[in-house]
Structure formats: structure tokens, C-alpha cells
A and B are shown apart, each in its own frame.
Chain A
Amino acid sequence: MSTIELRALRKRYPPREPGGAPQDLWRGLDLTVEEGEFVAIEGQSGSGKSTLLHVVGGLDRDYEGEVLVLGERLRTLSDARLAALRHARIGFIFQSFNLLAELTALENVLLPDYFGDGVPDAGQRAREGLERVGLADKASSRPTALSGGERQRVAIARALLARPPLLLADEPTGNLDARTGEGIIGLFRELHREGMTLLVVTHEVRVSRAASRVLVLREGALFPDPRLEGSA
């Protein structure tokens, strides 16, 4: 079974001017991501890469076409079931980390445990997650006391808390320097080796190089990038 299946996916934005025609962001995207794949999607700003991640993650439901994620037809799911899917089976990583400033690193990692039925052994998993990303000694630090790379690693530990089979990352190295970005990419490689499915939206070639498949989102359609494909 595919982890992600997009069929004839279309998204329209309202007309920019009154009386104008609606803007097509995509003209019928088709994509299949198999279990355990590491797919990178490139594209220019405004091509809809982040929107695509939001659709796959069930955060954006304003589209036409079919979206199946982890065997679930997203359009048919209620808000609660979508939330449960994100809670237990999908991890999100954002470019700007999105940590809660008032919580410590450990509490930020534990954020998914605050919702739904919580996460089994959340405390232990959170500590293990911080250890895995090399931040065991920063558990009590607040985000303001962490560097950009450290914040992103905390965000990764948060995304992995529920041990989801699918990880969605939106420009995960976009705000990091080259060396720190390499560390994050290394972590993705490791997760990929462990069998996790990754869908990463990126501008950066070094991220794409780590992927098992690279696609380019251009003019509302997805194209394979023959330059980088299979270079991992």
C-alpha cells in the first residue's frame, strides 16, 4: 500500500481582482509515495510546495481531487479523525521551527502528548528523542536559549514523539547554516534508513541529494528531476 496517493489534485485561489478568473495553483497533480521512500519536492517560491504538504498533512482541505494518506481518504475524515491521524501517524517539521517560547525543550517535544489520548511513554520517548538529536543536556532550556540548529532538532524530536510512519518537512534547513543543515540532513538519512517515509519540500540541492526521489513542482504539475534522482 502506498503511503501517499494524490490523484488529479487541483487547487484554486480566488481571483485577485473582483470579476477576475480564479487562479489555478495546480492543474491536476498525481503523486504516489511508497512506504519507506524519501521524496524531495523542489520548486520556485509560490509554486505551492508548502500548500502540497499542508494538503497531504490534512491541514488544508480546500482542494479538488483525491488525497489518500496512510490508507485514509482525507476528504472523508472528520476534524477529530484528521487530528488523530496527524497526532499519531504524521510528523511535521517547519522551516521556522515553531516551538512554543514558554515551554522548555522537553515540554515542546512533549506537545503532541498534550492532545488526544496522549502518547504512550511520552516522557521517556521525549528524553530519548532529545538524546537522539543530541540535545539531552538542553531538555530544560527554553527555545530562546537555543541556536537555530538546536531549535530545529527539538522540532524534529517533537515530530518523532509519536513514532509516526510519515514525516512531512517544509524547508527544514531553510533557516540554518550549511553545517547545521548537514546535521539535519544526516538525521533524515538515518530516519529513511530506519524505514520512515519522508516527504520534504526544499529549495536546497543538498537536501534533495539525500532523497531517494526528487520531483520538481513547476507550472502546476510535478516533474521528476533527472539530475538528482537516485543519488542518495
Chain B
Amino acid sequence: MRPARLWKLANANLSRELGALAVSAGGVALGIGCLVFFLALGRGLQRVVRDVFPISARELEVVVPQVGIGSLFGDVRLDDAAVARLRQIPGVAEAFPRLALRVPAVTRYSGPFFGREIRMGLEVVGVGIPSALIGGDAHLPFVDPGEGEPIPVVVNRRLLEIYNKVFAPQRGLPTLTDSMLVGFEFPIELGRSYVAEKTLAGAYTTRLRLAGFSDRAPLAGLSMPLQTVRRINARFGQDTAGYSSVLLRAQRSEQVGEIASAVKRMGLDLDESERSRAVQIGAAVELVTLALSLLAALITALAAVNIAQAFHAEVRERTREIGVMRAVGATRGDVATLILAEAAVTGVFGGALGVLLARAGGLLVDRLAATSLPQFPFKPETFFDFRPTHVALGVLIAVAASLAGAFFPARAAAALDPARALSEG
């Protein structure tokens, strides 16, 4: 049976059974709509999780074990030699040592702040990182400026988000962007702590200059050039040889497991707190998405049952017509193909309608979220991530469900005895 003819006949039959088939297509649309909606929501939420916890699948954070036989004997250190050995591990592309500022520091600022007068005093956590780690995120030179010059700092982009969504609105402060803040200077007092209420001998005041924002910078604290932190630690008599952690970047994500094993064989440990948190939240989102998708699949399956009933009724109604088709030369296969083609058309329309419903539902939820939910850090413009694959998958599943529903009616139609069909229909 030629496709154009098949379409013509299927179209004629569908137009006759428009009411019943609209109900069938509506059922499919509901199931597919739910499926696409939940899949897009799942992907959208995964994207939010990635924004909050920007974990690279290729990176590992190496630390000295807190309690370990090696550390007890003092022979496990993250010094330059250890970093060199880490670089030698097969699959490691780069190693970025991090050095914690080992002296207390505070910042106290009183003065104009983008049109407002502010007063603040904060305990500062500093981390030294190599400039290669943040790459182009620093818009000012990210190198040790030497004594007496403002220290360039890079801040994790998430802190800016938290400031804009939580801190600023509560205090009536302006919302800020990266470019507004780059170059902003504020004082830092090194060797002093508000929390411990102590001031070290040799404490001194200098200035910090914001050089940029980066996802690569540690979330807690201010990232400074590695040499600067080493210089300050040395000035206060602190250890300058041992790094606090080393970030390893693998050549390929599949190599991360082997690299982790090699790191542990070296007596070192991995800090996976943020990674495991991201993985746990991501897994929870995936689980909920899966559960909701299964619910949608159940709705689609019920729609397939409805299609089966509708097509059974249609075949009963069209018994004589099927007899006539057999009389003019249709084979059993032609009859079955015709019924399945009608089901496929129903599926295509149901699937397309379902995708449109999902899109409309997504827009509605986003609008409600924008107007009804309060601002919070990382609140996305949209909670959904619709992809062309969702459209294809939706239509494909809709067609498959429709074909599955129409399978037995098509078989029954093909099996009709043409003589009886002509006599009884």
C-alpha cells in the first residue's frame, strides 16, 4: 500500500472518528505532556544544582588526611615534591596547589559603597591559588604585588549571588554586578582576629583590590595570589612549604577514579564534601524526576488502553467497510497497516499536543515562580530545560503508545473474515 494512498484513507477515517480519536489523542497528550514536563523540570533542576555546586567531573581536591598513620609520623605533606608526584599520576593534566592564609585577618570598612554609606567588620579567610586556576576570570593582574601594594583578590561568583539575593535586599543595599565591583578596594588587617579577640605581634594593615569573580575560587573566603599568601605566612613565621590542598584536573573524566586510587596510594586523601553534596542532591533530583516520569508513563499507558478501546470500537463499526476493502483487493496486511497508520497519526497529534502542553505548563510555572516566590540565591529565570530531544522523545513515545494500543484492534481487523464482514457489517 503506497504511503500517499495510505495517508488519504487514514485521514478519511480519522476525520469520521474525530470525536473519539480526539479523546484518544487527548489522553496521549496528557501522558506525554506530563512526561516532557517532568523531564524538562528534572534537567532544569539539575542545572540549578550545577550552578550552586559547580563541580567539574574532571577535578579532584587532594588534601592531607586528618587522621592517618602517615600524618602521625609527619611524612605526608603537600609540598612541591608531593605536587610534582601528583602531576606524574597517569591521566593528570594539571595540578593547582592551594595555600591557606595561616594568620587571622579582618576587614573593617566604613565609607561610601555604591551610593550608600556602610560600616562593616568581617573575619577574612584567605586562600592562595595560582593564577592559572582562575584563568581569564581575573580582570586585573593576579600576581603578588609586593609589600605595601593592594593585594588582588578573586571571589567565588556564588558569594556575589548570595549578596545580591539575600544580603543586599535585607539591608537595602544595591544589587551589584562583576564589572561594578572589579577594582573596588577595602582595607585588611593581617594578624588580627575579632573572633579570637587577639592581635598577633607584627599585625599590619594593607588593602585588598577586587580583581574578579570566578567559580574556580574557593567558596569560603578570598582568593589571593599563591605568592602573596606564602609571603604573609612567612612574615608571621608560619609554614610556607606545605600546601593545604591540591586541585587535580584529569585529562578525561573517566580517568578520575584511577587518579583517586593513585592519590590514596600516596597516603593522601580527597575532599569530596562539596562533590558528594552535589552528587546527593543531583541523585535526589534524578530520583524524583524518574518517579514522576514513571507516573507520566503510567498515564501514557492508560492512554494506550483507551486507544485500544477506541480502535476496537472503530473496527466493529467499520466491519463492512473492511469487507469492501478486502473485496477490492486489500490484503490482511493492508487492513492492519491502515489501522496502525491511523493510530500513528493519533500518536503524532497527541505527542505534539503533549509537548505544547508541557511547554505551556513550564511557562506557567516559571511565571508563578517569578511573581510568587521570594528572591533566593541562584533562583533561575526558568526551572525547565526543554530540549529538541524532549520533543522527539515525546512524539516517539506517543506514536509507540498509540501503535501498541492499536496493535490488537489492527490484528482483529486483519483477521476479519471478509465474507462475514460484508454480511454482518
Q: Which residues on A are within 8 Å of B, measured CB to CB?
A: 50-51, 54, 57, 59-60, 79-80, 83-84, 86-88, 92, 94, 98, 100-103, 107, 111-116, 118, 158, 162
Given A50-B423, A98-B320, 18 other A-B contacts at CB below 8 A?
A: A51-B419, A54-B419, A54-B422, A60-B419, A86-B327, A86-B328, A92-B328, A94-B324, A98-B321, A98-B327, A100-B324, A107-B12, A111-B324, A111-B325, A114-B9, A115-B328, A115-B331, A162-B329
A87 to B2, CA, bound (A): 15
Is B13 located at the chain interface by the 8 A CB criterion? yes
Give the distance to chain A from B168, nearest Cβ to Cβ, in Å. Answer: 66
Most buried by A among B8, B15, B328: B328
A118 to B327, CA, bound (A): 14
Contact A115 B324 (CB under 8 A): no
Contact A94 B422 (CB under 8 A): yes
Q: Count residues on chain B whose CB falls below 8 Å from chain A CBs.
A: 29
Give the distance to chain A from B230, nearest Cβ to Cβ, in Å. Answer: 85
Which residues of A lie under 8 Å from residue B321 when comparing CB positions?
98, 100
A7 to B365, CA, bound (A): 76
Residue of A nearest to B330 (CB): A115
Taking A98-B324, A102-B12, A107-B8 as contacts, is the C-beta distance between A84 and B422 under 8 angstroms?
no
A98 to B319, CA, bound (A): 11
Contact A158 B328 (CB under 8 A): yes
Contact A116 B329 (CB under 8 A): yes
Q: Which residues on B are within 8 Å of A, measured CB to CB?
A: 1-2, 5-6, 8-9, 12-13, 15-16, 320-321, 323-334, 417-419, 422-423
- 20 CB < 8 A contacts A-B: A54-B418, A54-B422, A59-B419, A60-B418, A60-B419, A80-B331, A98-B327, A98-B422, A100-B12, A100-B321, A100-B324, A102-B15, A103-B12, A114-B6, A114-B330, A115-B5, A115-B328, A115-B329, A115-B330, A115-B331
A84 to B9, CA, bound (A): 19
A118 to B2, CA, bound (A): 8
Contact A83 B9 (CB under 8 A): no
Which residues of B lie under 8 Å from residue A102 when comparing CB positions?
12-13, 15-16
- Residue B334 contacts which of A103, A115, A162 (CB distance < 8 angstroms)? A115
A150 to B138, CA, bound (A): 86
Contact A115 B327 (CB under 8 A): no
A130 to B191, CA, bound (A): 105
Give the distance to chain B from A89, nearest Cβ to Cβ, in Å. Answer: 10
- Residue B422 contacts which of A59, A112, A113, A162 (CB distance < 8 angstroms)? A59
Contact B12 A60 (CB under 8 A): no
Give the distance to chain B from A55, nearest Cβ to Cβ, in Å. Answer: 8
Which residues of B lie under 8 Å from residue A88 when comparing CB positions?
329
A25 to B328, CA, bound (A): 26
Which residues of B lie under 8 Å from residue A158 when comparing CB positions?
328
Taking A102-B16, A103-B12 as contacts, is the C-beta distance between A113 and B5 under 8 angstroms?
yes
State the 10 A-B residue pairs at the shortest beta-carbon distance, nearest first: A87-B329, A102-B12, A60-B419, A54-B419, A114-B5, A83-B331, A59-B419, A59-B418, A98-B324, A112-B328
A87 to B329, CA, bound (A): 4
Give the distance to chain A from B109, nearest Cβ to Cβ, in Å. Answer: 80
Which residues of A lie under 8 Å from residue B326 when comparing CB positions?
59, 83, 86
Which residues of A lie under 8 Å from residue B422 when comparing CB positions?
54, 59, 94, 98
Contact B1 A57 (CB under 8 A): no
Give the distance to chain A from B392, nearest Cβ to Cβ, in Å. Answer: 30
Give the distance to chain A from B240, nearest Cβ to Cβ, in Å. Answer: 88
Most buried by A among B13, B324, B334: B324
Contact A115 B12 (CB under 8 A): no
Contact A92 B327 (CB under 8 A): yes
Contact A87 B324 (CB under 8 A): no
A107 to B328, CA, bound (A): 13
Which residues of B lie under 8 Å from residue A107 when comparing CB positions?
8, 12
Which residues of B lie under 8 Å from residue A83 when comparing CB positions?
326, 329-331, 334
Which residues of A lie under 8 Å from residue B332 when comparing CB positions?
79
A57 to B326, CA, bound (A): 10
Contact A112 B331 (CB under 8 A): no
A79 to B321, CA, bound (A): 18
Which residues of A lie under 8 Å from residue B13 when comparing CB positions?
102
A64 to B323, CA, bound (A): 22
Give the distance to chain B from A127, nearest Cβ to Cβ, in Å. Answer: 17
Contact A60 B417 (CB under 8 A): yes
Which residues of B lie under 8 Å from residue A57 when comparing CB positions?
327
Contact B328 A111 (CB under 8 A): yes
- Residue A79 contacts which of B5, B8, B331 (CB distance < 8 angstroms)? B331
A129 to B356, CA, bound (A): 47
Give the distance to chain B from A139, nearest Cβ to Cβ, in Å. Answer: 16
Residue of B nearest to A162 (CB): B329
Most buried by B among A51, A116, A162: A116
Which residues of A lie under 8 Å from residue B329 when comparing CB positions?
83-84, 86-88, 112, 115-116, 162
Contact A115 B419 (CB under 8 A): no
A167 to B125, CA, bound (A): 99
Which residues of A lie under 8 Å from residue B2 when comparing CB positions?
114, 118
Give the distance to chain A from B281, nearest Cβ to Cβ, in Å. Answer: 55
A116 to B15, CA, bound (A): 24
A51 to B418, CA, bound (A): 11
Which residues of B lie under 8 Å from residue A103 when comparing CB positions?
12
Give the distance to chain B from A153, nearest Cβ to Cβ, in Å. Answer: 16
Most buried by A among B13, B324, B329: B329
Residue of B nearest to A55 (CB): B419
Give the distance to chain B from A107, nearest Cβ to Cβ, in Å. Answer: 7
A174 to B418, CA, bound (A): 21
Residue of B nearest to A78 (CB): B331
Most buried by A among B13, B321, B330, B417: B330
Which residues of B lie under 8 Å from residue A92 when comparing CB positions?
327-328
A220 to B311, CA, bound (A): 39
Which residues of A lie under 8 Å from residue B328 when comparing CB positions?
86-87, 92, 111-112, 115, 158
Contact B331 A114 (CB under 8 A): no
